[in-house]
Chains A and B, each alone.
Chain A
Amino acid sequence: MSAQPRKQVNVGWIKDLHARKGLQLGLGFFFGIIFGFLLQKGGVTQYDVIIGQLLLSDFTVVKVMLSAVITGMLGVRLLNSLGLASLHPKPGSLGMNVIGGLIFGIGFGILGYCPGTIAGAVGNGYLDALFGGLVGILLGVAAFAELYPKLEGDILKKMDYRDVTLPELLHVDPWAAVFLVALLLGGVLWGLERLGL
């Protein structure tokens, strides 16, 4: 699909590291601790902060997300260019991402946490997250697993675009796309600060 083949990891010791299952579980736990620590420090483990974003009165969530995307995008793309990391773009379709995204949004507006931040909310001591939201999420994914065989070959495949990335779709150089998106997102952050949000 892409004009150029995607670059994969080509360094032996890194591949060996990825294959060590027990060590990887430990690394996942370690990365989770750092992620949770950062989420809490950013205030995004709080309902009040997330709902403030959805009510467009507190832009903390957007500021955290966009600065994470800009930073992550530059570094991960560099690692990929050097053959030190493979990319893992998710496949999708309009049927998946638009409908699923909007259903998710309904839940986002009611719950005020998402699957990652709710784990942080539980760690913060928020009991509505533990006894309400977490139970709801588990029931929701279980319901989806039940319905999956009916949805799989049908609505989830409507307007399928698989795992295409923006530079592949637009036939532009990946680095040009990275810098353009970094500039655009940086501009949004600059605009938010200018507006005093």
Chain B
Amino acid sequence: MEQWSPYAVGIGIGVLSWFTFLLSDKPIGASTAYVRTAGMLEKLFRGKKVGEMAYFKKFPPVVDWECMLVVGIVLGSFLSAWLSGTFRFEWVPSIWAANFGSSPLTRVLAALVGGFFIGFGSRWAGGCTSGHGISGTLQLTLSSWVSVICFFIGGVITAFFLFIFGA
């Protein structure tokens, strides 16, 4: 089947989180994998002193469980798309194209800017839609509930602003 019910998928992710807590002592999360990857890439250009930066002492630039999880996501999504025949290379998503034109350059530049805010904001908030939004809220953590509400307030305002004034 190309697509499953969102409830089946959600229950599946919930059950998966039981196993990550039980077998790996880890909540599902993604954003620190990017910190470690950025640290590893920076090390290539700037050498060892990168490891002495306070933030990379907190999250050392080495491959860890969460990095492997993120690499796994790429493969799992590919397998799912490929098995259901929905894998395709695409530069510009259809709703974007309908509102902002079909130029790949515009879309990639916007994605770059959006990505910058996501990366910066996720580390400022201490987590992302997975780490705070699912794993943190399911533990009833205050910081995660505050964060996920702000993710969506910011996201809804920005999306409406962009689609009303930018399109």
Contacts and interface: CB of A to CB of B under 8 A. Distances in A.
Interface string A35-47: 1111111111111
A75 B20 CA distance: 11
A152 B54 contact: yes
Interface size on A, as a range, is 35 or more
Contact of A36 (B42, B56, B75, B128): B75
Contacts of A104: 117-118, 121-122, 124-125, 128, 147, 150-151, 154-155
B44 interface: no
Contacts, number: 536
A87 interface: yes
Given A48-B95, A132-B107, A63 B69 contact: no
Contact of A63 (B6, B66, B92): B6
A109 interface: yes
Contacts of A102: 121, 150, 153-154
A26 B163 CA distance: 42
Nearest to A36: B76
Interface of B: 1, 3-4, 6-7, 9-31, 33-35, 37-39, 41-42, 53-56, 63-81, 84, 86-96, 104, 107-163
Interface of A: 9, 14, 17-18, 24-48, 51-52, 54-56, 60, 63-73, 75-76, 79-80, 84-94, 96-129, 131-146, 148-149, 151-152, 156, 161, 163-167, 169, 174, 177-178, 181, 189
18 contacts: A47-B96, A68-B12, A70-B10, A73-B140, A100-B124, A100-B125, A101-B149, A104-B125, A105-B121, A105-B153, A108-B114, A108-B118, A108-B159, A128-B90, A128-B108, A145-B38, A145-B39, A178-B140
3 closest residue pairs by CB, A with B = A105-B154, A32-B72, A136-B115
